[in-house]
Structure 1
Amino acid sequence: MSTEKFIRNEVTGWMAAHGEHSDIVMSTRIRLARNLTGYLYPIAFTEDDAMAIDRAATGVLLDSDGPDYTYMKMSEIPSLERLVLIEKHLISPHLANPNRHGAVILSEDETVSVMINEEDHVRIQCIYPGLQLEDAYKKADAVDDLLESELPYAFDEDFGYMTSCPSNTGTGMRASVMMHLPALTITKQIDRIIPAISRLGMVVRGSYGEGSEAPGNVYQVSNQTTLGKTEQEILVDLGNITSRLIAHERKSREVLLAKSRLALENRLFRSLGTIVYARILQTGEAARCLSDVRLGIDLGIIEDVDVSILNELMIFMQPGFLQQYAGTELSQEERDIFRAKLFRERLNIADTLKSLEEGTQE
């Protein structure tokens, strides 16, 4: 299997608009941080250490009888292609540094990503569409068991798995859900909900993790504590928080419909018109419009638009994908023009115009 498949193939598994509560929960991710005994952490290890860790982890996965995997070394991948992998959530921005001896092993369906020599020696990631905490964990745990059967993990009976960052010590697990919360954002309830979630041991970030913003009202909710809790306890806690957020979001949507339906419809159809007709689309405006249209679809206000396409466009609108799709480097202004063109082409304009016309006739 060629590396090009993962770069050229815009659609990845977690973008599918299915899974439990997929109208609000876009994807579920489990990440396990692991290190090997006898080696310094990546922040201080030698090149020989990095190569030895790479060979050991790669050998286990590529020689296994499990699914097909593809190996990619970061230093051999052009910067634009590394950016595409970040935008698809297949690697972290930290791993993309080509000078850190990093590599990634990807499953054919892109649900499993094993990052080597990132912040830790090995980071196992599994992403599923919708709310699938248990299934995603089982998949990640199976990969972890395979690696642990052959590799000497750094583990302490009192502290658990030893990690580069102390905040990951313990289970080494970060479980997260990526959620679309437009109603809570529009009503500004999200501003008081985020601090409340933090007090419960969870953290809310943008869709690309720590330090990122939440374009398009997409938030990543994950556990903050990995020490002193089992994996199952973390999954239960995150599941409970997610269920409460889903309930709050649904209630807020009902309130918006009951109290401000005309204003809401006006906003949603304006956004639909923008992505259909605009000739220049900046990233922020594109994200906001996609969020509005997705909300309109979920509420049954906008029809004849496939929500899975909107999930894809959230990735397509990013700088790396735009330039990869265009086949050339683009300035910011050129990206804004090409983004608008791509949106018009990717959406079925005939069906979208029909939806617009029906909306104006009601």
Structure 2
Amino acid sequence: MNYPKFPENCKSLLCKYLTPEVFEALKDKKTPNGFTLEQAINSGVKNIDSGIGVYAGDKESYDVFDKLFDPIIEEYHGFSKTDSHKSNLNPDDLNAPNPDPDNEFILSTRIRVGRNMDNMPLGPAISKEQRDHVESSVVAGLKRLDGELKGEYYPLLGMSKEVQDALIKDHFLFKEGDRFLDAAGLNRDWPAGRGIYHNNDKTFLVWVNEEDQLRIISMQQGGDIKEVFSRLVNAIKSIETKVPFSYSEHLGYITSCPTNLGTAMRASVHIALPKLAKDMETFKAITDKYHLQIRGINGEHSESEGGVYDISNRRRLGITEVQAVQDMHDGVVALIAKEKELSE
């Protein structure tokens, strides 16, 4: 493999940090799973418009290719090689009364985490047999869920049209990965080994073997953030008894994309802020203060519809899960207060 030629307008962190020197130092290295630098950077080489451009194939990638991953992690998360990550999934430590008890502003709340199985390659490096093993282990864990978490698992392979239509209608069905994930090797053997679990109330969802091996999602209408967080924590703890998760004292929960490391959490609300939408400077000042991200309601790179936005935590690594959700809650309280002020 030769040093990739990046165009001058390339803005990804891969372009910034894969210098010829770093390339020379890493090009012949492999992780114990046989994952190479070429595989790690393929998505960013093929997709010049990537924001990051690198994916890890296993936990060891972060050590073997540290000369590339460390500066990317430091720039994205403000987190250095000597820092350590702490987890806190105790709902009692979260101070989050419902910021919108009359349901005037918040349409829905959703908190999700990414998880991967310990001692198993990540999606970009996993074999078909290993992926199938992850699926069967996760399904065994999901079958143990009871109470409000009890539900059904729907494998993508051989899925009937009726089930497919029902899952699409609920916005639960994930599709084959986009070109960034495809180039990272995450679409191989599609749709084998993948599936969706949801509870009977449709407030809890698990995606199996999408970008990460598990995407665990808790959600409901309205703004009871603490209830959504508590449900998520109960599910995580229950699944973990059957499926040990990949974790490091330095980087927290291990994920294939370095942006999700740490808590691997995105806590978000869909919220209607039509007045603030007309004053993006004030809107952004509030979200920046609370380390929040503004997106359109259809996720990243989408536009707002009718003044409704997706507001979520920006920080993931170097803060606890409770802090991430607290940021989101406190920021939403401030946004609602400002929206009311502008409406007077």
Alignment match of 1:113 (pick from 205, 229, 243): 205
Q: SS where residue 215 of structure 1 aligns?
A: coil
Structure 1 position 157, deviation (Å): 1.5
**Preserved contact between residue 19 and residue 129 of structure 1 (Cα < 8 Å):** no
Instruction: Count the aligned residue pairs.
Output: 235
1:35 matched to 2:116? The reply is yes
* Cα deviation digits, residues 100-140 of structure 1 (max 9, x gap): 64211100000000110011011110002211111111100
Report 1:266-305 matches (<5 A): none
- Distance of aligned partners of 1:189 and 1:231 in 2 relative to their CA distance in 1, 3 Å threshold: same
**Preserved contact between residue 167 and residue 225 of structure 1 (Cα < 8 Å):** no
* Matched residue, 1:236: 326
C-alpha distance in structure 1 between counterparts of 2:175 and 2:264, whole Å: 19
* Higher mean C-alpha deviation, range 135-144 or range 66-75: 66-75
Q: Which stretches in structure 1 are left out of the alignment for 5+ residues?
A: 1-17, 255-362
- Distance of aligned partners of 1:160 and 1:99 in 2 relative to their CA distance in 1, 3 Å threshold: same
Q: Please give the TM-score of this superposition, normalised by the length of structure 1.
A: 0.59
1:175 matched to 2:267? The reply is yes
C-alpha distance in structure 2 between counterparts of 1:239 and 1:248, whole Å: 14
Q: SS where residue 312 of structure 2 aligns?
A: strand
**Preserved contact between residue 91 and residue 113 of structure 1 (Cα < 8 Å):** no
* Matched residue, 2:234: 142
- Distance of aligned partners of 1:133 and 1:20 in 2 relative to their CA distance in 1, 3 Å threshold: same
* Matched residue, 1:160: 252
* Higher mean C-alpha deviation, range 100-109 or range 135-144: 100-109
Report 1:308-319 matches (<5 A): none
* Higher mean C-alpha deviation, range 189-198 or range 211-220: 189-198
C-alpha distance in structure 1 between counterparts of 2:109 and 2:197, whole Å: 19
C-alpha distance in structure 2 between counterparts of 1:82 and 1:204, whole Å: 30
1:74 matched to 2:164? The reply is no
Q: SS where residue 28 of structure 1 aligns?
A: strand
Alignment match of 1:103 (pick from 182, 191, 195): 195
- Distance of aligned partners of 1:249 and 1:122 in 2 relative to their CA distance in 1, 3 Å threshold: same
**Preserved contact between residue 28 and residue 136 of structure 1 (Cα < 8 Å):** yes
**Preserved contact between residue 115 and residue 212 of structure 2 (Cα < 8 Å):** yes
1:88 matched to 2:166? The reply is no
1:202 matched to 2:284? The reply is no
C-alpha distance in structure 2 between counterparts of 1:76 and 1:124, whole Å: 23
* Matched residue, 1:52: 133
Structure 1 position 146, deviation (Å): 0.5
Structure 1 position 152, deviation (Å): 1.7
Structure 1 position 78, deviation (Å): 6.1
Q: Which stretches in structure 2 are left out of the alignment for 5+ residues?
A: 1-98, 179-186
Paired residue type of 1:214: S
- Distance of aligned partners of 1:198 and 1:85 in 2 relative to their CA distance in 1, 3 Å threshold: farther
Q: Calculate the aligned-residue CA RMSD, in Å.
A: 2.6
* Cα deviation digits, residues 64-116 of structure 1 (max 9, x gap): 44443111122333689657635634344567985364211100000000110
C-alpha distance in structure 1 between counterparts of 2:247 and 2:258, whole Å: 13
Paired residue type of 2:126: F
Q: SS where residue 235 of structure 1 aligns?
A: helix
- Distance of aligned partners of 1:40 and 1:234 in 2 relative to their CA distance in 1, 3 Å threshold: same
Identical pairs, percent? 29
* Cα deviation digits, residues 6-45 of structure 1 (max 9, x gap): xxxxxxxxxxxx9725210111111011100222222332
Choose between structure 1 and 2: higher helix proportion. Answer: 1
Q: SS where residue 342 of structure 2 aligns?
A: helix
Alignment match of 1:224 (pick from 298, 311, 314): 314
Alignment match of 1:25 (pick from 77, 91, 106): 106
Q: SS where residue 167 of structure 2 aligns?
A: helix
- Distance of aligned partners of 1:184 and 1:196 in 2 relative to their CA distance in 1, 3 Å threshold: closer
C-alpha distance in structure 2 between counterparts of 1:159 and 1:33, whole Å: 14
**Preserved contact between residue 141 and residue 241 of structure 2 (Cα < 8 Å):** no
C-alpha distance in structure 2 between counterparts of 1:225 and 1:60, whole Å: 29
